[in-house]
Structure 1
Amino acid sequence: MKPIRLLAAAILLALAAPAAQAQTKPPAPPLTKLDVLLDWYVNPDHAPLVVTLERGYFREAGLDVRLIAPSDPNDPPKLVAVGKADIAVSYQPHLHIQTGQGLPLTRIGTLIATPLNSLVVLDASPIRSIADLKGKTVGFAVAGTEDATMGAMLARHGLTVADIKLINVGFGLTPALASGRVDAIIGAYRNFELTQLELIGKKGRAFFVEEEGVPPYDELILVAQRGRLGTLPLRPFIDAVERGTQYLINHPEESWKLFLAQHKQLDDELNRRAWRDTMPRFALRPGALDRARYLRFAEFLHSRGVIKSILPLEEYAIELPRRH
């Protein structure tokens, strides 16, 4: 009987060893916190970030990510530049201007890879072409490139910015146009303002900037402070966003439910339509950089007098190196 008892004891010890090892397994390393400042209040444009967060892909990458809406849409890049936040959602046109002014920012990824910007008029308006804007008032929301954009669009019709009146209407683009305060709005997102107008019984008509003399560009990008590129876990962040974007494209209805889980106030007709209209515009390779596109747009802004010089591309836009 003694050999049997010894064998039983050996078996018990063997079974207990993995349990003991499991009990002494070191805890998982703490998550790295990243604060991401949005460019606007949360909306379907931010779907890749929200879905990545809700699917847990950031946490799986070792990141504790907070998405923060700004009180002023002009602030996020400036706050990132001075180290008050880690990443900001911004716009490619503004990046060229801000880095030209000395802000130490670098594009690290793309959320929306096509222009959303458009010039919108009411369908009942007598403005049937850009040439009809002469003497008219055009509202805009965020200052920066409205002169260059309008200048390029007007130049194709023999006009200049001096032939129109530009006024800043802040967040109220749609109300300003619907009320007749302005004759047109520039900076109107084709996936939002046109639907907003329709829902209040004011059909709109859009002129797309890339069809009217403005080179195509990335609408929404992700920027970080240049001096922190080597210290922040940016590649894991971008890789997680790519996973989230893939899920979003493959499962749009499930992703919509995830989006609403934390943003129930957005469950309305406007945002449902915006969700559908924005889907084809998300960057499927958010980390990829189209060098020629960025250089071409820099040349455009320089030719319009918006930036004084064309900086070397690596000073303001990179494709993050692969993790080993």
Structure 2
Amino acid sequence: MESLKFGLEWYLNPNHLPFLVGIDKGWFAEVHLDVEMIEPEAHFDAIDEIYKGNMDLAVTEPLHLVQDRLQNHDVVGFSRYLQSDSGVMFLKDKGITRPRDMIGKRLTYPSAPGPTGLAFIKSLIEADGGHCDVNDLIPINKGFYHTDALINDEADIAFSVQQHHELIEARERGYEPGFFSLKEWGLPAGGNLILVTSREVFSKRHEEIGRFLEVLKRSNEFIRNNREEAKEIYYQFTKKDPMNAIEAAIVNATLNYFTEDFSMPLDYFDHLQKWLKQSELTDSLLEPDEFWTNELLLEKSRGGVNSGN
């Protein structure tokens, strides 16, 4: 039995159900992996934790992968497991009907007043034919409590919102949210959760990581075909109340986004890094294969990863 530690990007939530299924069903043990799931107390830098040897793999978003690699960190992404959509949420009674209506609005996002959230909103406004300086926006930091910030009139718009989470929450709380999708306006699409590690760990633990992905694919397939049992596993593991209507609605929505296709095209990462440069958030550009590899997925399709026996 080989130990493999992986870190979540945030507190345990429905996005992490495939890992819970793999643990509950004993599938990781079947492929001789003793997995440890690390739930952060705060939103930590996963790559630093991998460098320190505190974990082997981490869940993150493509944006963070590209930013880390452009800063010369030894990091590579190798598998997607959740594919949703992300963008900007607002309440429809605020008079916002199109992206250029966001000029002059109060914007909440987790890294505010950092430049990335402001740059995305600026790009959305300009994609809609508006002219925007980042100084035309008012950054507000309400952490990840996007829905609360809008309902409590602490912000007008919220960025880094997941289609299957905050929009569902707002509706369940009796509000009518609007949503601007990044990808629908030609910007680098969010909404993907991916696995990353260092190139050193990827090379040294290639076989174990391949087995980890086999279980993850099996878990995603199980969720698609056994929705009720998958929900039972989630509630048993997290001890959350299945009668909580908001949580139940988010869980139900999330079940639809665990993808069959774990690969990602290199063009996706090229688009993202070029947007970062165009937005003056980086001075560097790299070859797209510096960010991502589908190597393990191709090996799996050829039957090249063994079960650890």
Under a length normalisation based on structure 1, what TM-score does the superposition of the two structures give? 0.84
Within-5 A mapping of 1:117-128: 117-128=86-97
Alignment match, 2:154 = 181
Within-5 A mapping of 1:195-274: 195-217=168-190, 219-232=192-205, 233-265=208-240, 267=242, 268-274=244-250
**Alpha-carbon distance change, 266 to 107 in structure 1, aligned in 2, over 3 angstroms:** farther
Displacement of 1:100 in angstroms is: 0.9
Matched letter for residue 178 of structure 1: I
1:151 aligned counterpart, secondary structure: helix
Is 1:155 the equivalent of 2:130? Answer: no
Residues 73-99 of structure 1: CA distance to partner in whole angstroms, max 9, x if unpaired? 243233124332111110001111111
* Aligned with residue 87 of structure 1, among 32, 57, 60: 57
Does 90-99 or 254-263 show the bigger shift?
254-263
Alignment match, 2:116 = 145
In structure 1, the gaps of 5 or more residues are 1-30
Is 1:304 the equivalent of 2:270? Answer: no
* Aligned with residue 280 of structure 1, among 222, 233, 256: 256
- Distance across 1 between alignment mates of 2:197 and 2:247: 28
1:33 aligned counterpart, secondary structure: strand
**Alpha-carbon distance change, 237 to 231 in structure 1, aligned in 2, over 3 angstroms:** same
- Distance across 1 between alignment mates of 2:217 and 2:190: 20
**Alpha-carbon distance change, 218 to 144 in structure 1, aligned in 2, over 3 angstroms:** farther
Alignment match, 2:31 = 61
* Contact persistence 1:113–1:219 (CA under 8 A): yes
1:272 aligned counterpart, secondary structure: helix
CA-based RMSD of the aligned residues comes to 1.9
- Distance across 1 between alignment mates of 2:191 and 2:197: 16
Structure number, greater radius of gyration: 1
Alignment match, 1:104 = 74
* Contact persistence 2:100–2:124 (CA under 8 A): no
Alignment match, 2:289 = 314
- Distance across 1 between alignment mates of 2:27 and 2:131: 50
* Aligned with residue 48 of structure 1, among 11, 18, 21: 18
- Distance across 2 between alignment mates of 1:202 and 1:289: 35
Count residues in correspondence.
292
- Distance across 1 between alignment mates of 2:72 and 2:273: 15
* Aligned with residue 104 of structure 2, among 135, 142, 148: 135
Displacement of 1:266 in angstroms is: 5.1
* Contact persistence 1:81–1:224 (CA under 8 A): no
Is 1:170 the equivalent of 2:140? Answer: no
* Contact persistence 2:84–2:163 (CA under 8 A): no
Matched letter for residue 124 of structure 1: D
* Contact persistence 2:28–2:215 (CA under 8 A): yes
- Distance across 2 between alignment mates of 1:289 and 1:81: 25
Percent identity at matched positions? 23
1:230 aligned counterpart, secondary structure: helix
**Alpha-carbon distance change, 191 to 32 in structure 1, aligned in 2, over 3 angstroms:** same
Displacement of 1:144 in angstroms is: 7.0
1:170 aligned counterpart, secondary structure: coil
**Alpha-carbon distance change, 144 to 77 in structure 1, aligned in 2, over 3 angstroms:** farther
- Distance across 2 between alignment mates of 1:220 and 1:205: 23
2:252 aligned counterpart, secondary structure: helix
In structure 2, the gaps of 5 or more residues are 300-304
Alignment match, 1:22 = none
Displacement of 1:129 in angstroms is: 1.5
- Distance across 2 between alignment mates of 1:212 and 1:108: 27
